[in-house]
Amino acid sequence: MLLHELVGHDRVVSALAQANASGTAHHAYLFQGPMGVGKRQAAFGFAALVNCVGEVSEPGRVACGRCRHCRRILAMGATEASTAHPDVLALVPDGRQIKIAQVRDVLRMVPFPPIEARFRFVIVDPADGLGEEAANALLKTLEEPPSRTRFILLSSRPAALLTTIKSRCQRVVFGRIPEGELAALLVARHGWSEELAARLAPVADGSVGAALALEDDPVMAARDEIMTRFLGIGPGDRLGALALAAWISEHAGARDTIVDLLERLLRDALLVRLGVSQRLFHEDLRPAITAWATRYGSAALLARLDLLSETRRGLAVFNTNPRLTLERLLLALLAFPGAEGERAMIPHNEVL
Ligand SMILES: [Zn+2]
């Protein structure tokens, strides 16, 4: 993807284009930000921009997309074909990590000038996939950067990187893609219907990758059914809660996304309960959520939100039995208000 066509990162795109046009590009960048927001596309797009030899309206600020460098570099970004351009080297994990031997292979070429391009690019995807030895080998090169090689390190977990590596890179922070832009992108580039994009973009947390994963998620397909059933169960109706757990397990599997949906439902209920006039996540269910929320005080809703965080952690860290976890969760969420015991109030602004 051409850098200037990247969606949702205008500030980053214009800063990189400006650096290239003015000849002040850094020798090493760390592109950090959530998974699936376009960091990798930006890296290949930037490599193409720097090396583009085509005719364009704003030289240095936009790439042509057609010249011999653009075509091959952008193809690498699109298909993970790692040998399309001899001067663009992608370091990706071989197994669980990027190994020292892979890094050495790449660094061996670095003292020599690029073969065809103005600048060689080494793209490390992800930088937190470097083993310790591999990271230290790379660090040495970053400390004495070769003149015609540029490094781009990608990471959604920059906290996991060596401080010494980070200090050698210029940081470029990618945020989440705004909901409206993400929905438009899913329609334009991935052929989604507007209805599907409007339904899933809010759950995808600003990430194209997450949205594409949700497309096939059975929980999302059954969302209307699950939410309507949940809201229809009265407080303390244990049989109703267990029946819903069984239905979800059978039709959608007890997956993380069910926790996401319920968490958003509870936040919606809390907003309604507190009288905050804000668009709800499940806006189409506002009347049913309003009726449901009146049964519970805001303290009871907050306690239930806590419970969801704990459940999420249980599923992720302790690998608890998903079906049993789902049953316990629904029983607790649908218990009589107050049945969760005494709980101190948290100031609302800390939660919202
Ligand atoms: Zn070009």
Kindly report, residue by residue over 83-123, the tens digit of the pLDDT. Answer: 689 999 999 999 999 999 999 999 999 999 999 999 999 99
Q: Give the pLDDT score at 349.
A: 38
Percent of the chain with pLDDT over 70: 93
- Residue 72 Cα to ligand 1 midpoint, Å, equals 10
- On whether both 164 and 221 belong to a single domain, the answer is no
In the predicted structure, residue 342 carries a pLDDT above the cut 50: no
Q: What is the mean pLDDT of residues 245-263?
A: 84
The DSSP bridge partners found for residue 122 are: 89, 151
Of 173, 208, 229, which residue is a domain's last? 173
CA of 119 to the centre of ligand 1 (A): 14
CA 46/CA 80 separation, integer angstroms: 16
Residue-number span of the structural domain to which 136 is assigned: 3-173
How close is the Cα of 94 to the center of ligand 1, in Å? 31
User: What tokens does 232 get?
Assistant: 């229809």
- In a domain, residue 209? The reply is no
Instruction: Please give the tally of structural domains in the chain.
Output: 2
**Contact present, 141 and 153 (Cβ < 8 Å):** no
Q: Do 96 and 245 share a structural domain?
A: no
Residue where a domain stops, chosen among 173, 207, 238: 173
In a domain, 186, yes or no: no
On the CB side of 211, CA atoms within 13 Å amount to 31
Q: Are residues 233 and 119 in the same domain?
A: no
Residue 316 has pLDDT above 80, yes or no: no
pLDDT for the residue numbered 69: 96
- Whether residue 242 is contained in a domain is answered as yes
Are both 127 and 252 inside the same structural domain? Answer: no
Q: How far apart are CA 235 and CA 339, in angstroms?
A: 10
Question: What distance in angstroms lies between residue 65's CA and the mean position of ligand 1's atoms?
Answer: 5
What is the Å distance from ligand 1's center to 56 Cα?
8
- Looking at the structure, do residues 327 and 235 belong to the same domain, yes or no? yes
| Strand arrangement, sheet containing 149-155 | 88-91, 120-124, 149-155, 28-32, 170-173
Residues 158 and 265 in one domain: no
Q: What is the mean pLDDT of the chain?
A: 89
Residue type for 174, please? F
Q: How confident is the model at residue 200 (pLDDT cuts 50, 70, 90)?
A: confident
Mean pLDDT of 342-352: 38
| 35 lies in the same domain as 152 | yes
Q: Which CATH number does the domain housing residue 104 bear? A: 3.40.50.300
| Beta carbons of 172 and 30 less than 8 angstroms apart | yes
Query: How many angstroms is it from 147 CA to the middle of ligand 1?
Result: 22
Phi, psi values for residue 171, rounded to 5° = -85, 135
Q: Minimum mean pLDDT among 70-79, 124-133, 275-284, 295-304: which range? A: 275-284
Averaged pLDDT, 198-215 = 88
Do 167 and 18 share a structural domain?
A: yes
Cα(120) to ligand 1 centroid in Å equals 15
Integer Cα distance of 93 and 125 in angstroms: 8
Q: Which of 48-52, 200-204, 260-264, 286-290 has the highest mean pLDDT?
A: 48-52
Question: What is the Å distance from ligand 1's center to 74 Cα?
Answer: 10
Residues with CB under 5 A from ligand 1 (ion): 52, 54, 63-64, 67, 70
Task: Examine the pLDDT at 19 and tell me if it is beyond 90.
Answer: yes
Ligand 1 center–CA 126 separation, angstroms: 26
C-alpha of residue 68 to centroid of ligand 1, in Å? 7
| 179 Cα to the center of ligand 1, angstroms | 31
ipTM: 0.99
The residue-averaged pLDDT of 327-337 equals 88
Give the dihedral sign, CA 59/27/41/103. positive
Res. 343: pLDDT tops 50: no
Please give the average per-residue pLDDT across 315-338, as a whole number: 81
pLDDT at res. 83: 64
Neighbours of 70 (CB within 10 A): 23
DSSP 320-340: --HHHHHHHHHHHHTSPTTTT
Is residue 35 a contact partner of residue 209, using CB atoms and an 8 Å limit? yes
Q: Are residues 28 and 129 in the same domain?
A: yes
